[in-house]
Structure 1
Amino acid sequence: MEIPDHVGPRPVPPPFMWACRECTRWLLRLARTWDDPEGCFWEQLQTAQHIAEAHPDDVPPQHLDDCELCPDYARRGDADAAGVWAQHRARDLFMPPSIARLL
């Protein structure tokens, strides 16, 4: 997934991410691959997965604005959907909303 120029600025990750060695490692990998033609899709997924698993209390709440995916995730009751939904919301911590909300 190549990141188009019009996606908006990347948010500054919150302090807990810089205090965590694993988060910092994924953030740095993401930064190095941001402009690669191959994109940084893997790094996005791994960063979100790590946050959802290691920092569940820091995952943002459900998007209450125009997010098309949150209502679908909220309706599903299985553990797999809950994990993917947490990853979806965690992406807001380090990706522009226009990209974070694609998955």
Structure 2
Amino acid sequence: MDSLEWPVPPPFMRNCVVCHALATALVDKAESPVGCFAEQVTLARHIVRDHPDRVPEPHTDGCALCPDYAKRNDGDPAGVWAEHRTRDLFMPTHVARLM
């Protein structure tokens, strides 16, 4: 079983008050039996909306989801692919790549 080893957030997340607060809430909620899906999505959407230049490039390391997102011909109107890529910044990879 993969561990829930949190990555060290990049400097821009540590310097953004909103990123820091959302990441703290995410980690706190992850320890509860309820889970932390809403917190993951909220943080990813914040990064996509407020730090679009920090969204990572598409995964090229065997990600099962990026090729499917890339096939879409509607761009990324809701930012779901961008949110997917952003999750690697703050979630363990095996969890980040589930969405």
Quick check: TM above 0.5? yes
Within the candidate set 38, 56, 63, 2:34 is matched to 38
Equivalences for residues 61-100 of structure 1 within 5 A: 61-80=57-76, 83-100=79-96
Give 5+ residue unaligned stretches, structure 2.
none
8 Å Cα contact 1:26/1:47 also seen in 2: yes
Shift of residue 80 of structure 1?
Answer: 4.2
Identity level (%) = 53
- Give runs of ≥4 in structure 1 deviating > 6 Å: none
What is the distance in 2 between the residues matched to 1:7 and 1:102? 15
Normalised by the length of structure 2, the TM-score is 0.91
8 Å Cα contact 1:7/1:99 also seen in 2: no
Shift of residue 82 of structure 1?
Answer: 6.2
Letter in 2 for 1:44: Q
**Equivalenced residues, count:** 99
Deviations 1:43-68 (A, max 9, x none): 00100111111111101111001111
Letter in 2 for 1:84: V
Instruction: Decide which structure has greater helix share.
Output: 1
Normalised by the length of structure 1, the TM-score is 0.88
Give 5+ residue unaligned stretches, structure 1.
none
